[in-house]
Structure 1
Amino acid sequence: MSKLLYITANPKKGVTRSKGAQIGEVFLETFQKERPEVEVERLHLYDMNITRIDTDLLYARAKTSFMGYTLDQLSSDEREKFTRMHALADHFIAADYYVFVTPIWNLGAPGILKDFMDNMFLHKKTFVTTEEGPKGLLTGRKAIHIQTRGGIYSTGPMIDFEMGDQYVRKALTFLGMDVMDTIVAEGLDHFPKQIPEIMEKAKTDAVEAAKEMAKSMVAI
């Protein structure tokens, strides 16, 4: 059975409190109508115990990658964190479709998303190094990012300062995924009177993107 991972990075709970979640639910509803056989799993990052790269993980990765250590030779803390990192990566790799829903905060994505994605960059598991450079191993998978923005970043003086969507797209592309065009709802804080129109446009984009994703039969 194919699986879609629906990944949210926002501490707000409930669809009514998050505009990104409202757009994401429209995407999911449309996708599930088109592909009811695909299993959907929700990952709310703020509810997860995500392994962060710290001293233990830095040493564990170095010891196992080029210093010749086995898992049993790691300290108990190193081994526990290293094992949890690989378990989270294995869970991520097992999916076929990916939907990321995030706001932009202080020019970038919430830090917890970076913590999550740090678990996915594992040499020989999600990418390899070749003579031509790094090569992502998560090919045949489809991903999309839904991002809400308080300001305007698509045009004007802030266009070069948007680093949240850029990070998500580049990280997933690095890992080998086919990344669709981002669904963006922007100006939500700058133009409060236009929120209904902004949201309606984003939801329409979400419906079309979900139908497009549903047409793709991933081949992992």
Structure 2
Amino acid sequence: MSSILLVTSSPRGEASHSTRVATEFAKKLASAKLGNTLVTRDLATTPLPHIDSDFAAGIYTPEETRTAPQAKVVGVSDVVVDELMAADTIVLATGMINFNISSTLKSWLDHVMRSGKTFSYGAEGPKGLVTGKKVYVVLASGGVYSNGPGASFDHATPYLKTALGFIGMTDVEFIRIEGVAMGADAEAKAVSSAIELTNGLALAA
């Protein structure tokens, strides 16, 4: 039995390639074995609040002495941290926006990267506490950034590897849907290639 967490973030709704491919993939993973569960968090329709002074102070304030606004925003953060910790497999979906991830997914990371909860500091430095999980990132982009002249503009991939790795998630696989703005044929090929890849990954899971 396995728990899959799907986190989508594209503002494009039903037109989003990353959301569509990631959702279909997560459902395949969930149906692969009896008893698997799927939890979905749609950051586009229900965005998390960007961190503010209440969050910054509240996470370091004892629960019993937090103000009402602090308790509210830390409570939101606690929920998404619990979702992450409960999952065995995480599927993240984002479009590349201005060479990086969506701001809604960045906000999710801000909420789940919590000292004492998802990472800790010790004599040997920081230690990630979110271990033993498989992460798939479905990343859609209008251009081609996996290689060639556009590769240096891809800040989404290294950022996610660094941020996820910092909290202990080092087994991260990227599923690219790239070149979707380069004509209808290129778009169709990019989507079908990504779906073919996820089909294989779901069978092997």
TM-score, normalised relative to structure 1? 0.84
Please state whether the residue corresponding to 1:122 is helix, strand or coil: coil
- CA distance, structure 2, for counterparts of residue 26 and residue 72 of structure 1: 42
Could you say which residue in structure 1 is the equivalent of 2:21? 23
Letter in 2 for 1:72: E
Could you say which residue in structure 2 is the equivalent of 1:109? 101
Given that 1:103 and 1:110 are in contact with CA atoms closer than 8 Å, whether structure 2 keeps it comes out as yes
2:11 matched to 1:11?
Answer: yes
Q: Please, which moves more after superposition, 100-109 or 176-185? A: 176-185
- CA distance, structure 2, for counterparts of residue 41 and residue 208 of structure 1: 22
2:112 matched to 1:120?
Answer: yes
- Runs of 5+ unmatched residues, structure 1: 65-69, 215-220
Pairwise mapping of residues 69-108 of structure 1 onto structure 2 (< 5 A)? 70-108=62-100
Could you say which residue in structure 2 is the equivalent of 1:156? 148
Shift in CA distance, 76/30, structure 1 to aligned 2, threshold 3 Å: closer
Query: Greater Rg, structure 1 or structure 2?
Result: 1
Q: Kindly state the Cα deviation for residue 116 of structure 1 after the two structures are TM-superposed.
A: 1.0
Please state whether the residue corresponding to 1:134 is helix, strand or coil: strand
Q: Kindly state the Cα deviation for residue 199 of structure 1 after the two structures are TM-superposed.
A: 1.7
Please state whether the residue corresponding to 2:54 is helix, strand or coil: helix
| CA deviation vs aligned residue, 1:72-114 (integer Å, no higher than 9, x gap) | 3232222222232223212221111100111101001110111
Please state whether the residue corresponding to 2:132 is helix, strand or coil: coil
TM-score, normalised relative to structure 2? 0.90
2:191 matched to 1:199?
Answer: yes
Letter in 1 for 2:19: A
**Count of aligned pairs between the two proteins:** 205
- Runs of 5+ unmatched residues, structure 2: none
- CA distance, structure 1, for counterparts of residue 109 and residue 36 of structure 2: 23
Please state whether the residue corresponding to 1:138 is helix, strand or coil: coil
Counterpart pick for 1:132 among 124, 134, 143: 124
Given that 2:9 and 2:19 are in contact with CA atoms closer than 8 Å, whether structure 1 keeps it comes out as no
- CA distance, structure 2, for counterparts of residue 79 and residue 21 of structure 1: 31
Given that 1:5 and 1:99 are in contact with CA atoms closer than 8 Å, whether structure 2 keeps it comes out as yes
Could you say which residue in structure 2 is the equivalent of 1:54? 52
Q: Kindly state the Cα deviation for residue 33 of structure 1 after the two structures are TM-superposed.
A: 4.0
